[in-house]
Amino acid sequence: MAQFGSLDPASVQAVVLHHTAAAESVTWESVASYHVQSRGFAGIGYHVGVRNGEIAYLGDLDEARAHVANLNHLYLGLVLAGNYETATPSEADMKALKVAYGAMQEWLGRSVPLRAHRDVAPPGYTVCPGKNLYARMGAISGGGDASLDLALLKWADVGQSIQPNEAAALYKAMRQDGYWPLSDESGTRGQVPVVEGFPGIVAQLGREWSGTGERVYFWDGRRVRWVTRR
């Protein structure tokens, strides 16, 4: 299975802002599937995503993921779901982007600028993150200390100042085992079966990268466990 290279936090020059250029309803699972199956990436190309005002930790910050061609070792990738060449970002999304940007800087332990994908790519290469989001970048990067809202994040274990959570632990365990998530941790799309003996648990359905086998990964209150889905 392909893997991303490492990223040295000391070498990071900026957080780069993107949009998915898809519908605002796009799921992170479908973005990941497109990146892997159509683009040949090792996984979803971004580090942190915002969708419907909620922040998702998509990929480890110490990995050079795939969001700025040939320069991934210099940038962290922050993405907003939607096409902001035509749509307008909501206030909930703007607040979440500000919080995420602050948290990414806190993980780095220093301030770095927020830059648009189109400004770090070759001239004319892309309009990302779309003209309507581009026009509001100052509201994300300017004023206040977004890192004060770290408690609002649904983040993985990316730094001592950010509390790990069960959903992130499930994702990490799946990735280490060669599985990828088919559902979010809430199971709201009805894809996560009930795990007997653990009502109300955090669970995710995963599928093998190399096949069709599926497992339900769940948090039993102390550690990640899994059962085969039949």
Give me the domains of the chain, ranges plus CATH numbers.
5-152 (3.40.80.10), 166-228 (no CATH)
Dihedral (Cα; 211, 63, 61, 122), 10-degree rounding = -110
Question: pLDDT at position 36, please?
Answer: 79
Segments of the chain scoring below 50 in pLDDT:
1, 144-165, 185-191
Neighbouring C-alpha atoms within 13 Å toward the C-beta of 3: 9
> How many other C-beta atoms are found inside a 10 Å radius of the C-beta of residue 10?
8
**CA-based torsion, 54, 60, 62, 66: positive or negative:** negative
What is residue 146's predicted lDDT score, i.e. its pLDDT? Answer: 44
| Beta-carbon contacts of residue 116 (< 8 Å; ≥ 6 apart) | 16, 17, 128, 129, 134, 137
**So what's the pLDDT on residue 166?**
52
pLDDT at 107: 84
Query: Quick check: 24 and 90 in contact, CB under 8 A?
Result: no
- CA torsion angle for 207, 210, 168, 66 (degrees, to 10)? -130
Number of alpha helices (DSSP H) and beta strands (DSSP E) in the chain:
6, 11
Residue 71: per-residue pLDDT: 94
Measured from the Cβ of residue 2, the count of other Cβ atoms closer than 10 Å reads 9
